Amino acid sequence: MQITSTQNPQIKHLVKLRDRRTRDAEGLTLIEGGDEVALALEAGVALQSAWLCPELPRFARQPELRARIERAGIAIAEVSPVVFAKLAYQENPDGWLVVAPALRPTLESLRLPETPLVLVCEAIEKPGNLGAMLRTADAAGAHALIVCDAITDVNNPNVVRASRGAVFSVPLAVAPTAVVVDWLKARGLRIVAATPAATQRYTDVDLRGPVAIAVGAEDTGLSDDFLARADLAVRIPMVGRVNSLNVSASAALLLYEAVRQRA
């Protein structure tokens, strides 16, 4: 039976999960989008329930996904387009939404290779930027992304959406800045901090070997404490009037320079 009322108690509960306090209290999050749900399944995320709207035009782009959800024994409910519009974060949703356990990523869970490439981001505010960096880290083959002094919530459905599900494919950790710096140094990673105040260009430094590339919030950059403990500071040359790039664009430039050098 299809759920057609936005006043349905289960629908109201799903809407509440849009709020961080509710997600934190219940240890749950929402994953929207067929590609994102598929990646979560591949990563072994124990999905709790699925809320589907087959009437939406883009739903059919994932012909095998419903069968995979059913084989996993996950409860499925169908909802009307009006109800799904109430639940969706995307402007043009595809009719796929699941409830999953919230991510609780820790430094202890990370397993790095001998010569790791790690992206570190400090005090990032916008879910879209964090999601974009996860997507870039996945594409560049980074071995981990570490969030310092998190402002945005890694379980924010907008992070999941902006990452296109890479939040489930990239090894992830969240911890305070001081703890992260100690952890990186204890493992022999050289910390390369991006800051407009640096004298060296990012293309002029050696990004091979065990490296952690660090970027900070667009308005304030990396904290003074982080910069003071970094091994090296680099800048991205800019000739325009705007004094900074979008943080996700900066992260992409730095990561792919490291990939180029390592090749």
* Length of the chain (residues): 263
What pLDDT, on the 0 to 100 scale, is given for residue 243? Answer: 64
**Do 47 and 41 touch, CB atoms closer than 8 A?**
yes
Copy the structure tokens of residue 14: 């799903």
Average pLDDT of the segment spanning 10-15: 97
pLDDT, one tens digit per residue, over 50-76 is 999 999 999 998 889 999 999 999 999
Percent of the chain with pLDDT over 90: 92
CA atoms within 13 A on the CB side of 67: 4
CA–CA dist 147, 153 (Å, integer): 10
pTM as predicted: 0.92
Scan for tokens 């990563």, then name that residue. 43
Is the pLDDT at 240 greater than 80, yes or no? no
Query: Which of helix, strand or coil describes residue 40?
Result: helix
Q: How many helices (H) and strands (E) does the chain have?
A: 10, 11
Is the pLDDT at 178 greater than 70, yes or no? yes
Copy the structure tokens of residue 255: 């990561």
What pLDDT, on the 0 to 100 scale, is given for residue 218? Answer: 78
Is the pLDDT at 150 greater than 90, yes or no? no
pLDDT band at 89 (very low <50, low <70, confident <90, very high): confident
pLDDT, one tens digit per residue, over 159-169 is 999 999 999 99
**Do 167 and 37 touch, CB atoms closer than 8 A?**
no
Nearest Cα residue to 195 out of 147, 144, 243, 150 = 243
